[in-house]
Amino acid sequence: MEKISTISGDGAPPASGRSARITLAMLCFVYVLNFLDRQLISILAKPIQDSLHITDGQLGRLTGFYFALFYCFIAIPIGWLADHMNRVKVLSVACALWSAATAACGMVGSYGQLVVARMMVGVGEAGGVPPSYAIISDSFPRERRTTAMAIFNLGPPIGSALGVAFGASLAAAFSWRIPFYVIGAIGVVTALAVYLIVHEPDRGQTDTPATAVRVDERTIGFGATIAQFFRNPVLLMASLASGAGNFITYGLLNFTTLFLMREKGMTLDEVAIWYALVVGIGMSAGIYVSGRVVDRFSRRDKAAYATIPAISLLLALPFFLGFAWAPGWQLALAFLSVPMFLNSFFLSATVTFVQGEVPPERRVISGALLLLVMNFIGLGLGPTYVGMASDFFRPTHGPHALQAAYYALAPMYLIGAALFLLLARLIRRSETRHEGSL
């Protein structure tokens, strides 16, 4: 027997416009803390390196592979669990856990201890984004989801900007350890606020009968759910293409502060002002604009979820090269503002596309599987690659090793654009088959 999938969360009525906006605002703030905690070590890389005596390669593994190993893979069972219980409670507990682990990062005395603390941050953050994706998808109708996702995805740029501004300022005034304590405490309080304020929406409540996915009444098992996701060539390609985009994003962001201070001559106080402005304005504007643009063009052509990210990566490449080449930090930041605007066009588009392609009761696990591929490639391998490349080039390029590593990152823009163009082709082919079967 089949049914239209509208599985209830806690039996709550459909969210009003005001309730949905409050939910979105709270989830966005949690994502701000999520990304701030994640990026804080990269922002404070120079004083941490000086204090704990770690290399660029060690820093890359710390902010990349070690973190992603826990963040990506633990997100899968947590996502499956959240699809079968209250997603708001899962998010609240996760926020409290990663915030406590962030505070612990400020207490470490060695590289090994910092690795363990970062892994615990990854464990907590694994339960943050996938439930939020599903809550938003069940709070906003399809025609407004990409814009809602774009607003939610303002979390990374706002988190990065606040991390740079306040983290660098606190570290310059006191110690690199103080920002970890302050931000960790704020996160624990926020976790309680999420539990008290955010309401669990009914699953599938914003899907119309025409777009709702018909599923068998029997619960699909954990392994079968994963297999269905990766057997779908469109979902698999969306994950790989977004992974390439994230490879660029994290490979760039996790070393930018260190690059600006070491090779462009910026001080920590200057980073707290000027780099914070570039991150906050550039990334925020790019993510919001991308949501509006994709919402507009995807109504006429579903392949816009892929073609727009492809175009954005190709446009960003020459400016990224200018950023790596620029002799001074002022010109470098001017060049960097364009990739900051364009690099994340893929994020809201890919997330919204995947959420719309799966049944409502499998949105959390599907979001977690997307993040598994996206972040293991991007977060796990991007910073690790740049850090290892910097160590590799150090004997020949000396103080400009990170510049050479950034040049080595540039071809990923072309790879990412090619994967998104291939995704667009698969989407059109799938649409043609669907229309032919009607």
CA distance linking residue 318 with residue 39, whole number of Å: 25
Instruction: Convert 95-119 to b/e letters by CB count within 10 Å (16 or more is b).
Output: bbbbbbbbbbbbebeebeebeebbb
15 or 352, which is more confident: 352
pLDDT at residue 207 tops 70: no
Mean pLDDT of the 65-89 span: 78
Alpha-carbon distance of 408 to 256, in angstroms, equals 15
The pLDDT value given to residue 208:
54
Average pLDDT over residues 11-16: 46
Q: Which residue has the tokens 């996160």?
A: 187
Q: What are the DSSP calls for 124-190, one per residue?
A: HHTTTHHHHHHHHHTTS-HHHHHHHHHHHTTHHHHHHHHIIIIIHHHHHHT-TTHHHHHHHHHHHHH
pLDDT for the residue numbered 260: 92
Q: Name the strand (E) or helix (H) holding 301.
A: none
- What's the pLDDT score for residue 221? 66
For the record, the structure tokens of 419 come out as: 């994967």
Three-point CA angle 302, 148, 190, nearest 5°: 145
What does the chain come to in residues? 438
Distance CA 181, CA 354 (A): 36
Contact 37, 98 (CB under 8 A): yes
**232 phi and psi angles, rounded to 5 deg:** -85, 110
Give the least confident one: 288-302, 329-343, 362-376: 362-376
| Residue 230 in tokens | 């990766």
For residue 317, pLDDT over 80 is answered with: yes
Burial degree of 328 (CB within 10 A; 0-12, 13-18, 19+): exposed
Query: Is the confidence at residue 411, as pLDDT, over 70?
Result: yes
Which residues, 6 or more positions from 103, have their beta carbon under 8 angstroms from its beta carbon? 180, 181, 183, 184, 185
Among 103-117, 197-211, 212-226, where is mean pLDDT lowest? 212-226
Over residues 162-179, mean pLDDT: 84
| Residue 354 scores a pLDDT above 90 | no
- Tokens 């609240």, residue located: 92
pLDDT of residue 339: 95
**Where is 261: in which H helix or E strand?**
helix 233-262
Instruction: Tell me the mean pLDDT in the region 3-11.
Output: 41
pLDDT band at 437 (very low <50, low <70, confident <90, very high): low
Residue 204 is predicted with a pLDDT of: 59
**Quick one: which H or E segment has residue 344?**
none
CB atoms within 10 A of CB 197: 12
Residue 210's pLDDT band, with cuts at 50, 70 and 90, is very low
The answer to whether residue 137 scores a pLDDT higher than 50 is: yes
The model's pLDDT over 284-315, given as tens digits with 9 standing for 90+, comes to 888 888 888 888 888 888 889 999 999 999 99
Q: Is the pLDDT higher at 96 or at 128?
A: 96
* Cα distances (Å, whole numbers) of residue 248 to 79, 238, 256, 294, 409: 26, 16, 12, 21, 7
pLDDT at 12: 44
Residue 263's contacts (CB-CB under 8 Å, 6 or more residues apart) are 399, 400, 402, 403
Question: What sections of 263-303 are H helices per DSSP?
Answer: 268-270, 276-277, 284-298
pLDDT above 50 (res 14): no
| Mean pLDDT for the chain overall | 83
Most confident of 99-108, 152-161, 276-285, 309-318: 309-318
- Lowest-pLDDT range, 13-27, 45-59, 320-334? 13-27
Say what the pLDDT of residue 217 is. Answer: 37
Tell me the per-residue pLDDT of 415-432, one tens digit each, with 9 for 90 and over.
999 999 999 999 988 877
Q: How far is CA 266 from CA 135, 330, 387, in A?
A: 41, 9, 20
Angle, CA of 141, 94 and 371, to the nearest 5°: 55
Query: 133, 270 in Cβ contact below 8 A?
Result: no
CB 34, CB 125: distance < 8 Å: yes
Considering 108-122, 128-142, 261-275, 333-347, the range whose residues carry the highest mean pLDDT is 333-347
Does residue 23 have a pLDDT over 90?
no
412 SS3 class:
helix
Q: Tell me: the pLDDT tens digits for 224-248?
A: 778 888 888 999 999 999 999 999 9
pLDDT score, position 436: 55
